[in-house]
Structure 1
Amino acid sequence: MSYLHLGPYSDWPAWSEAVAARATPPARDRTRQRVHEALAVVDETPADVRVERTWRLDGIDGEELSWSVGFGPRTHAWLLRPSGSTGPLPGVVALHSHDGIKFYGKEKIADAPEPTPPSMAALRTKAYGGEAFANRLCRRGYVVLVPDVFCWGSRRFPLDAVPEPMRRDGTDEEVAYNETARDHEHLVEKYCRLLGTTFAALVNREDRIALNYLRSRPEVADRLGCVGLSGGGCRAAMLQATSDVAASVVVGMMSTYDGLLDRHVAQHTWMFFPADLPTDTDWPDVAACRAPSPLLVQYNRQDPLFDLGAAEAAHARITEHYADAPDGYAGAFYDGPHKFDREMQDDAFAWLDRKLEAAQA
């Protein structure tokens, strides 16, 4: 087989032992162990939580929170709950996407009182049906936590900490930062390796900290969900694998690893390749390793980030993991490009309604 982006190295996959090792789905308990080792999973909570401000707007009571994860800038997050609600209500961690945009994080998918930044309005039009989906979900009767994560928004590296040869110049601070951060992620992964971790592990750790904070809130019911598109879908899959989240929605982030090899590696984040997991574990195995825990994966047939055949193969592999509990997994295919539009949101929210209501029963 010839691979466009491997060229004269197109015989490399056939030589690789990892490709052969991934051919057979591993036992789920073994995958869980491998994932926990790769992501260094321990139970952690945020330190020094502060309420920075509160607001009431358009039927939502909001709080801007900040906390420490032990190093670096403080994490900022928005907690959204229906105005006047007394709880307990189902809780969901809404996970922002990657997008090659790190200047902002939570602002991609949620609104506070300030006007939406123009670049975020444009992103929502392209990827989210023009919606702040976290606010839509909140108005449906959920407490929604929307945190920034390592390298995004409040947790981003300042530009002057980036080596000068990597910095992009420009009069638009946001554009210059995002162009710089695209290359800087490779350097951050090197820092992670030198410091005994990985980019994926740090992101997953911070998402688990956010989940544990949401669990601690008195107005939140016992069992929780998570949802995210693209890089947020990657985060949702890892959170599904490393926590006891009761329902997980992975949007636009599912493929076999083999299906990435021809033309679909360059555009993906280091989050997608946790430590040495790909040596013997496929990405759908990671997402499904807690079967029968409820999992919804939404696929876009014309998604330029993934090969459709690889997405269909991933769907089949997850279905195999859920063979003894077919109600636990739903895989839905939609026409269109890389997105989480209103139709997909409506379907995902209805699925969360069913699964989290059942979880509370």
Structure 2
Amino acid sequence: MSNQVKRDLRGIEGLEALTRRRPFSSRNAVEIPGLLADVLGMPEVPPETAIEETGSWHKDGVEGVALRWSTGFGSATDGWLLRPVGETGPLPGLVVLHCHGGMKRYGKEKVADRHHPVPAPVVAFRAECYSGRAVANDFARAGHAVLVHDAFGWGSRRVPVDYMPERSEHIASLELKEHLAAGHAVGEATEYDVHAAPHEDIMAKTLGVLGTSWAGVIARDDLIATSVLAQHPATAKGGVAVVGFSGGGARAVLASALSDSIRATGVMAMMSTFDGILDGYLHAHSWTMMSPGIGRVADWPEIAAARAPRPLFVGYAERDALFPLTGMRAAHDIISRRYATSQAAEQYRAHWANATHSFDASTQRAFLTWLNESPR
């Protein structure tokens, strides 16, 4: 920490010294999974999950099966299992974790296609964040059994507006009036997302009182999904990989750190030291990464590298407005040292893209090549 107070610490100067017992980057890696599960308050993952098939389709070389399962609370989870058309044998499994993006009406639809036409808000979102691609479909066409699912708070797992308290309704009504006054079209998806934004903070309080957290319940959702895919007959043995961009990257970091069975991890545009983020970047991030108490566990790149020598791919977007380049470089150095210490330097792959905050086409290609080369 420099002598100059960082922007996100203004007004609470000195608190860091009172709360942080050790530097972010001094934790023994074997301690991290247990500490992380405790801090996130992650509810227990069930040993088995009943799965229902609710439909199937073929589209552009991909065969899809709609799945549904219950996590034990809230709405049921809808997921799609995607494979190449005509493939009959088991394939390497990959769970693609959708991002946050301020778009909660849709979850898995941000990364996967089923219906024509694709909803207009999703088309625009993909153009900005995924080079216009439905990345899960692309990975399936390339020879993987790909599962996409809605995390708690998104898509099929979203909280109905009628369940939201008066305070979030009031905040949302003010923003909707501003949209209309500016002449912006307000469709069903936009209206839901406007309501969901203030409700996220209120839900975080509720989850905290219950002894868990946004990150904890989402990590549980994701570990259930990895188990669903790993146990499916369409999936080859040996564990599944996980990949995500932005908030999905945060989900990949946490799920991987908390799991003994994930075989490889991809984190896209979601990597920096916490120290770098403290200089004016915290406001841009959700509870998925900035979970209360996480600073007691380890630095973010240490959490990402906690399962070394497990194969790890990190995509860095050099013009990312949500992370400082200095924080990315510092994170890369920490991860590199962790993998070198584990005698597995070759199992960590960093891809630097001249890109804004996105999982851009060059990074998609680099990740797929790396994934196909990773040990199984």
Shorter-chain TM band = over 0.9
Query: Partner of 2:114 in structure 1?
Result: 112
Q: Which residue of 85, 88, 91 corresponds with 2:87? A: 85
TM-score between both structures, scaled by the size of structure 2: 0.90
Q: Which residue of 338, 357, 366 corresponds with 1:347? A: 366
Q: How many residues align?
A: 355
Displacement of 1:248 in angstroms is: 0.5
Kindly indicate whether the alpha-carbon contact (under 8 Å) linking 1:199 and 1:271 is maintained by their aligned counterparts in 2.
yes
> Deviations for 1:41-75, whole angstroms, at most 9, x for unmatched residues?
74435644211111112111111111100011111
1:237 equivalent in alignment to 2:256 = no
Q: Distance in 2 between matches of 1:329 and 1:349?
A: 14
Displacement of 1:147 in angstroms is: 0.3
> Deviations for 1:117-169, whole angstroms, at most 9, x for unmatched residues?
00000000001000000000000001100000100000000011111231224
Q: Distance in 1 between matches of 2:74 and 2:162?
A: 15
Q: Distance in 2 between matches of 1:111 and 1:4?
A: 41
- Taking a change above 3 Å as real, the CA distance of residues 8 and 192 of structure 1, as seen in their structure-2 partners, is closer
Q: Which amino acid is the alignment partner of residue 123 of structure 1? A: F
Which secondary structure does the structure 1 equivalent of 2:95 belong to? strand
Displacement of 1:17 in angstroms is: 3.9
Q: Distance in 2 between matches of 1:125 and 1:80?
A: 22
Q: Which amino acid is the alignment partner of residue 177 of structure 1? A: Y
Q: Distance in 2 between matches of 1:93 and 1:351?
A: 16
Query: Partner of 2:281 in structure 1?
Result: 264
1:4 equivalent in alignment to 2:7 = yes
Q: Distance in 2 between matches of 1:14 and 1:190?
A: 23
Which one is further off, 266-275 or 329-338?
A: 266-275
Q: Which residue of 277, 280, 299 corresponds with 1:282? A: 299
Kindly indicate whether the alpha-carbon contact (under 8 Å) linking 1:46 and 1:210 is maintained by their aligned counterparts in 2.
no
Query: Partner of 1:227 in structure 2?
Result: 243
Q: Which amino acid is the alignment partner of residue 98 of structure 2? A: H
Q: Which residue of 269, 273, 280 corresponds with 1:252? A: 269
> Deviations for 1:280-327, whole angstroms, at most 9, x for unmatched residues?
511111111110000011111110001110111111111111112101
Q: Distance in 2 between matches of 1:2 and 1:136?
A: 45
TM-score between both structures, scaled by the size of structure 1: 0.94
Q: Which amino acid is the alignment partner of residue 245 of structure 2? A: L
Which one is further off, 256-265 or 37-46?
A: 37-46
Q: Which amino acid is the alignment partner of residue 214 of structure 2? A: F
Kindly indicate whether the alpha-carbon contact (under 8 Å) linking 1:260 and 1:307 is maintained by their aligned counterparts in 2.
yes
Counterparts in 2 of 1:162-201, with a 5 A limit? Answer: 162-167=164-169, 168-169=172-173, 170=176, 171-201=186-216
Which secondary structure does the structure 1 equivalent of 2:282 belong to? coil
Which secondary structure does the structure 2 equivalent of 1:322 belong to? helix
Which secondary structure does the structure 1 equivalent of 2:241 belong to? strand
Query: Partner of 1:21 in structure 2?
Result: 22
Q: Distance in 2 between matches of 1:56 and 1:14?
A: 54
Q: Distance in 2 between matches of 1:142 and 1:281?
A: 33
Which secondary structure does the structure 2 equivalent of 1:271 belong to? coil
Which secondary structure does the structure 1 equivalent of 2:54 belong to? strand
Question: RMSD value over aligned CA atoms?
Answer: 1.6
Which one is further off, 178-187 or 299-308?
A: 178-187
Kindly indicate whether the alpha-carbon contact (under 8 Å) linking 2:36 and 2:297 is maintained by their aligned counterparts in 1.
no
Query: Partner of 1:35 in structure 2?
Result: 36
Q: Which amino acid is the alignment partner of residue 228 of structure 2? A: Y
Kindly indicate whether the alpha-carbon contact (under 8 Å) linking 1:82 and 1:141 is maintained by their aligned counterparts in 2.
yes
Query: Partner of 2:182 in structure 1?
Result: none
Structure 1 unmatched runs, 5+: none
Query: Partner of 1:335 in structure 2?
Result: 354
Query: Partner of 1:218 in structure 2?
Result: 233
- Taking a change above 3 Å as real, the CA distance of residues 43 and 72 of structure 1, as seen in their structure-2 partners, is closer
Which one is further off, 268-277 or 282-291?
A: 268-277
Q: Distance in 1 between matches of 2:23 and 2:249?
A: 22
